[in-house]
Each structure stands twice: as C-alpha cells, then as structure tokens.
Amino acid sequence: MMHIALCTDGVFPQAMGGMQRHSRLLAEHLARTGEVELTVLHPHPPPIFDPALGIREVQVTDIDTDKFYLRELKRYSTRVATELDRLKPDVVLSQGFCVWDGIERFSDRLIVHPHGLEMFQMLTRKERLLGWPFRRALRSILRRSRVAVSLGGKLTDILREQVAGSDCEVVVLPNAVDLPNLQPPTSNVQHPTWTLLFVGRFAFNKGLDVLMTVAERLVREGKGDRVRFQLAGDGPLLKDYQAKGLPTNVELLGRVDDEELDRLYRNCDAFVLPTRFEGMPTVVLEAMARAKPILVSDVGATAELVDPRNGYLLPPGDADALYDAILSFTERGSEVHAKMGAFSRERVEQRFSWPAVTQEFLALFRRVAQTITS
C-alpha cells in the first residue's frame, strides 16, 4: 500500500483557514478510501483525527509567532524534513511552505499545494513589497518539486510562469466540499427583503469596505429595505466595524460554529464575496453546495465556479459593479434565483465534491510513485 505523508502547518479547527480546513478534509477522505497508508505531520498534540480512520499523526513543533514569520516557516520545514527522513514515505504532499529546507531530498516524490497564491495577487505597492520574500521562497520551492497543484483559473497561469524551465509539472486539482442534503424549496415570497450572506476573515483583502460602500448607498437611496447583509467571521477589522457603527441593513454575526454556519447558508438568498484576491474559496463552494446564487470577484479560480447561470463575476474592488449586480439580482425574482441555485448545486456535484476530488489525488499519487527515481 502506498505511504503518503501529508505535511501541514495546521489542521482545522485547531487552526483556522482555508488551507487548514483542506488539510483535515483531504486527510479524512483519503483515509476513508482504504487505498493509502496516511501520515499527517502537523503542529498539534495528537490525536486530532478519529482513531477509527487509521491516520498516523506526527506532531512537529509549531512556529514561534513572535518571531519573523517567513524564517519561522523555514525552521518548521527543517523539523518536517527530519520526520520525513525517518518516515520514508512513497509520496509527500506539502501544504504551502511545509517542505522547504532540505527539499532536494524529497524532490522526486514531492507534490506542493500552494493554495491561493495571495503573494502573487497583491494590489498595492506596499503589499507587493511585503510579499516579495514569500514569492521568491515559493518560486524556489516550486521549481524543485515534482508537481505543483493549481486550484485552476488564473492560478494555473501564475504557477506555470513560476516553474517555467524547471521539471516541475502543474496539475489542476480544485477545492472540494461535502454535499449536504437539500431542504425542500420554500414558496415564493412577493417583494421580500433579500438576504445576502458574507462569510470570511474580516481583513482588507476580503473587500468588506466595498460591501459597506454598497450597503450605505442602498440606505442613502432609500433601498435599504431591499437587501439585508449578514456578515459572519472574525479578524482584525471586526472590532473597527463594531466600533464605528454600521448601515442599518448590515448585521455583524462574528465567528459562528459549523451548525450555525450551515443554517446561515440555507436561509440566505445569495452569497456575496467581494474579495480582492483569492484562491478557490471554500465558502463559495459551501454556499453552492446548498444551492445558492453567488456574487463574487473574478479573481484566482472563482471563474471555475461562477458564471451567469449561477451568479455574477465582478471586477475586484469595484463598488459600482457590486451595486449593479445586487440590484440585478433582486429584480430577477425567486423563480430565477431557484434556477441559479440549482445550477450551483449541479456544478458542485459534477466537479467539486470530495469523493471525486479525492480520486483525482489518488491518481496523482500513483503516477508520482511510479516515476520515482531509485
């Protein structure tokens, strides 16, 4: 049986974030196939997985968050490499920067998944300067890896540019979600107040300022009762928004648990994410899996998920475009909204469910294992 080592700097819910959630779900679904021997290297005291899954867990001493982050990532990778030398897996899957120091020892069996590639999508000059060391480090890692995983869309071109001239192969494997059971549709409501849900980190890159600009404009123009915004999540900007006051059509929910999040997805009329840069947002997939229309920025791999049949792809940072899309959505009515949501669900079922994506990972693992140099 193939031995796979999954290296990550955190696993949800012990650590928050899209990559950390991906690490948990991928590990669980791989283990359930019974086709691999799986070891997960992570920084948490084990066990964090259900023992019945048979996942071997190796705790790696975590980074020191009080020190320079990139240097700490490299030190973490040194500790990961020591464990990989001991484990001798057939294939190594590294999330982000987890395999870096001593990478040459694993290059022939190393698959790197860099996820959102945010450091290549930053908009301001200051952000680009801050992201330069991360771009340089990731480029070096990618060029010494066997395979780089792209989530698709614009991210694939970014990765191909970084590995040009090296032996690294770029493979597209999307994010995925579990498919919940759908509730029966409710009867149409005439002239409702439409609820738009945002879920994400309260940070500048998520475009919350764009959303607030639109909410304020709707209130100012006497349309505030047409749309209600529910914002779920936590982050550095949450306290700022709580302190300075909100438009009357905006509700801050803070961080919510999975049960409450599922309820919010099911009860909203559409999902909105005016992000400035992104990979393939799990929150968008989660809303689509619950048959919801989507309003999202055309960044990263979002065009793989959304087109006019199930929502709106918008220029990042463009409040006027988001305003127009929201008004267009409210004018289309419940019957059209239901058709848009049905297409969202169908798209997830066809391409973005965990069972399907797990099989793609297994096929990649087999191919890499068969070509390892002796």
Q: Among all chains, which residue has been given the structure tokens 């959303």?
A: 211
Mean pLDDT of 101-124: 91
Domain match, 148 and 8 both: yes
In a domain, 189, yes or no: no
In this structure, the answer to whether residues 102 and 223 fall within a common structural domain is no
Whether residues 325 and 358 fall in one domain: no
223-243 average pLDDT score: 89
| Rounded (5°) CA angle 167-168-172 | 145
Of the candidates 244, 245, 207, 214, the one whose C-alpha atom is nearest the C-alpha of residue 229 is 214
* Shared-domain flag, residues 117 and 225: no
Look up the domain containing 51 and give its range: 2-176+353-370
For residues 156-185, give the mean pLDDT. Answer: 93
| pLDDT tens, position by position, 12-58 | 889 878 899 899 999 999 999 999 999 999 999 999 999 999 999 99
Give a yes or no: residue 186 inside a domain: no
Please check the confidence at residue 222 and state whether its pLDDT lies above 70. yes
Within a domain: residue 181?
no
198 and 162 in a common domain: no
Return the pLDDT at 373.
Answer: 54
Query: What residues pair up with 232 in beta bridges, in sequence order?
Result: 199, 254
pLDDT at residue 191 is higher than 60: no
Q: Interior CA angle at 59 toward 58 and 62, to 5°?
A: 145
Mean pLDDT of 288-312: 97
pLDDT at residue number 204: 87
Query: Tens digits of per-residue pLDDT, 53-102?
Result: 999 999 999 999 899 999 999 999 999 999 999 999 999 999 999 999 99
Q: Are residues 357 and 322 in the same domain?
A: no
pLDDT over 70 (residue 294):
yes
Whether 56 is in a domain gets the answer: yes
Separation between Cα atoms, residue 272 and residue 261, nearest integer Å: 14
